[in-house]
A and B are shown apart, each in its own frame.
Chain A
Amino acid sequence: MIKLQDVRKTYQLGDNRVEALKGISLSIESGDFVSVQGSSGSGKSTLLNILGILDSYDSGSYTLNGTAIRDLTQKQAAHYRNRFIGFVFQSFNLINHKSAVENVALPLYYQGVPRRERNQLAMDYLDRVGLAGRAEHKPAELSGGQAQRVAVARALITKPALLLADEPTGALDSETSAQIMQLFRDVNDEGVTVLIVTHEEDIAAQTRRTVQLRDGDIARDERLE
């Protein structure tokens, strides 16, 4: 499903060049459950953003489901992000002035799904993450764990083939972390490829494969059983 070949990414900050990714080659099979680990600044987020077509890269190639991502127009990229990928951020990234159900329904808005239908579907997904009762709440009225569950519901509502999560439990306590991980396992069981960034060993231990980054390189890549 995912095929990275020698992907490089350099940030230029004034005179400072930061090589965030120094030639990553990585293949991920459909239906896998992968964790990406590494110390702060090792390039985890950079990698995930490139996989999610949220950021560009300098050289190398990225093929997603057989499509060369570099050649996509902005419109096609938007289409891929919308239909193919679900993204969960560490900081939730909910829209503040929209209610939980409106936030969850937003990806469907960009698919042109009628309002009634998408709100109904959004309610189903909120129910699935156990937040049907909070549908009309604004993000500010939700706890961190609740907000992240709303974000997961939003990522899942388009039935993506690939779910990317950047430290989804980074801001949560262990109990809510466990709830989120349970959601991811369920989704993975349904066949969705899941890739999460984490620096917590016990989170990584719940996945099936773990990739260790160090200074923009892959240091270790092992399958857990």
Chain B
Amino acid sequence: MIDTDTWQEIAQSLRTHKTRTALAVLTVAWGVFMLVLLLGAGKGIQNGVELQFRDDAVNSIRVYQGKTTVAHQGHPRGRSIKFGNDDFDRLNDNLDVADRITARYYPGGDSIVTYQNRTSSYDIRAVHPDHLYLEKSIITEGRFINELDIRERRKVAVIGVKVVEGLFEDEAVLGESIAINASTYRVVGIFRDEGGRSEQEKIYLPVSTAQLVYGAGSRVHQLLYTVGDASWEESKASEQQTRELLADRHNFAVSDERAVRIYNNLDEYQKVTDLFFWIRVFVAIVGAGTVLTGILAVSNIMVISVAERRREIGIRKALGATPAAITRLIVAESLIITAIAGYLGLLASLGLLELLKATIVENDYIYQPDVNTPVVAAVTLLVVFAGTLAGYLPARRAAAVNPVEALQQRD
């Protein structure tokens, strides 16, 4: 399409108008640079959040008690569903993907905790050993609740570091006895938690011990489990399985979503992923806008270029240039400007992204900023297409000009 002569014509024309050419190149290059950088950064932020999700929140499913909203098998609607040890056992025995599982029992009321002459109030959670993994508690001293504690209903407690700060001074903590309301427990472990202050102001007891002490029989309030490496689909299937297992035992309709409420952390993850998809769409639109601005600038520059060269175009037409030849020359010129500019912009932005990837300090917000090949290809296509278009409209106008009128323009 572009022969050597056209190349030479274009090279000559670009050289003659260096400033203008440089300006056009700069505008488009900047547009492409911004577009690719924004896309890369968007991807980086998304990667960062995804990483955080996997890291911070376990792929957990929490099951809460609810109230039925439809009558079922002779039971009226509005019936409260209460969980017990049986529910825990049932899920533990039957769930396909449950990796770690625990129940939670809340003694309720004010829990007055005393050590020697110091007293304070803390949240008490009575749990199974796996709770450690669900909350991602980190044991700093001693141990967490274990199976033996559960089986023997031992009166032991694992306390948060903030509890230690509140009740103890410089004494050794492990092996000491603390009183919760009227009962004494031996402290067997200390934990911290990255979930913040309130998560570290908790006291964990064996669920069986608490049920006995508080006269709760086999009652529990919540069931929690992780789905390990299960995919989102598998985790959704597990939700459904849980609902079916509990519906069967408590005689409520499986379709009654309020009878037990299931909260799937992966859903949140999915929501955030969706959000980031839209952020990327937004970024793409903004970036494309930037490129478009560049293209408009090129178009503008081509309009000026054509206007300035009206006389030259008139001469060419008088010498026998066809409209197609004039159009081709100007479009090719525009295309070359945008292609060079696009290439420079692409190179600069990819370079910067690589640099960022290599040097960025590990942080919570951005991880592996990157653009993939299809994106680069799309940007390239966009630039080429827009460059052609930017040149085409002024070129058509230039090609249609009446030679005499064009020649009347003075240099």
Contacts and interface: CB of A to CB of B under 8 A. Distances in A.
Contact of A93 (B12, B320, B402, B407): B407
Contacts of B404: 49, 54-55
Given A81-B318, A93-B318, A54 B403 contact: yes
B315 A95 contact: yes
B403 A55 contact: yes
A74 B400 CA distance: 9
Contacts of A106: 316, 319
A94 B319 CA distance: 11
B402 A97 contact: no
A95 B309 CA distance: 10
A98 interface: yes
Interface stretch (A25-33, A107-115, A217-225): A107-115
Contact of A55 (B319, B324, B402): B402
B219 interface: no
Contacts of B323: 74-75, 78
B322 A110 contact: yes
Interface string A61-78: 000000000000011001
A101 B203 CA distance: 96
Nearest to A115: B5
A81 B4 contact: no
B407 A110 contact: no
Interface in B111-164: none
A225 to B, nearest CB: 34
B317 interface: yes
A120 interface: no
Q: Give the size range of A's interface with the partner.
A: 20 to 34
Contacts of B257: none
Interface stretch (A82-90, A186-194, A195-203, A206-214): A82-90
Interface in B292-332: 311-312, 314-325
Interface string B167-194: 0000000000000000000000000000
A82 B319 contact: yes
Contacts of A82: 319-321
Nearest to A155: B319
A223 B320 CA distance: 32
A210 B320 CA distance: 28
Contacts of B321: 78, 82, 110
Contacts of A49: 404
A110 B325 contact: yes
Given A107-B319, A158-B320, 8 more contacts: A54-B404, A55-B403, A55-B404, A75-B323, A75-B324, A78-B323, A87-B319, A109-B5
A154 B312 CA distance: 15
Nearest to A107: B319
A166 to B, nearest CB: 10
Nearest to A81: B320
Contacts of A55: 402-404
Contacts of A109: 5
A93 B315 contact: yes
B316 to A, nearest CB: 7
Interface string A35-77: 0000000000000010010111000000000000000001100
Contacts of A94: 315
B229 interface: no
A50 to B, nearest CB: 9
A128 interface: no
Contact of A98 (B4, B12, B318, B407): B12
Contact of A81 (B13, B16, B319): B319
Contacts of B55: none
